[in-house]
Amino acid sequence: MTAVPVVLASTSVWRRELLSRILADFQIASPDVDEQAYHKDGDSPAELAVRLAQRKALAVAEKHNDSIVIGSDQVVDLHGSILGKPETTDNAIAQLQSMQGQTHRLITAVCVISPQKTVEFSDTTTLTMLPLTKSEISRYVDRDQPLQCAGSYMIESAGIALFESVTTSDFTAITGLPLIQLGQVLRDLGVKLF
C-alpha cells in the first residue's frame, strides 16, 4: 500500500467525520471556492454538483500535488430547480415549504485527484418529504438551524422526521460523502483503509 497523503478538500465537520470512519490519517484543506459563482452558469443540478466537486478538488490539488485530494459537493434538485444553502431562517422556511409533500433528489458528487489519475462519481438519493405545516417547519428550523445545509435540512439530526421516504444506495452520501464508492476508489489508488 502507498503512503501518499490524503487531503479532504472541505472544512465540513460532517465530511470530516464521515472520512474518519474509513481512514485514520488524512489532512484537511479549505478549497476556498466561491460556490455561488457557479450557480449562475446554467448547469443542470447534476452538472453543478460535479463541477463544484471538481473545482474544490482542483483548488486544493494545486497546493498538494503529491497527494490524493478528495473534493465533494451536494446539490438539491427540486424538479430541475437547484436549492442551495439557505443562509437565513426565512430562506430555510421558504425552501422547506416549497419541498413539503414533494419528492426531490440529493445529488452528491465526488472528485478524487491523485498523482496517478482523477476519478469522479456521483450518488443520487431520492427523498419524499411529508406534507408539513408552516408551524412544523418553523419549529424544525428553530431546532436544527440548517442554514448551511443545501435543502435546509439535516437528515442526520431531527430532519429525519421531515420525510416520508428516503431511497439511496449509500446512506453516507446524504450527509455529504458516499463512503461505499469512495472506499473502493481509495483502495484502487493504494490507500490503506481503517
Domain membership of residue 56 (yes or no) is: yes
Range of the domain at 91: 6-188
Give me the pLDDT at residue 53, please. 97
Domain membership of residue 193 (yes or no) is: no
Looking at residue 29, which CATH number applies to its domain? Answer: 3.90.950.10
Catalytic residue among 73, 77, 123, 144: 73
- Predicted TM-score (pTM) of the model is 0.92
Is residue 162 pLDDT above 50, yes or no?
yes
As a whole number, the mean pLDDT across the chain is 94
Q: Positive or negative CA dihedral for 40, 44, 49, 54?
A: negative
**Residue 111 DSSP class:** E
Domain membership of residue 194 (yes or no) is: no
Domain count, the chain: 1
**Dist. CA 18–CA 170, nearest whole Å:** 12
Tell me, yes or no, if 123 is annotated catalytic: no
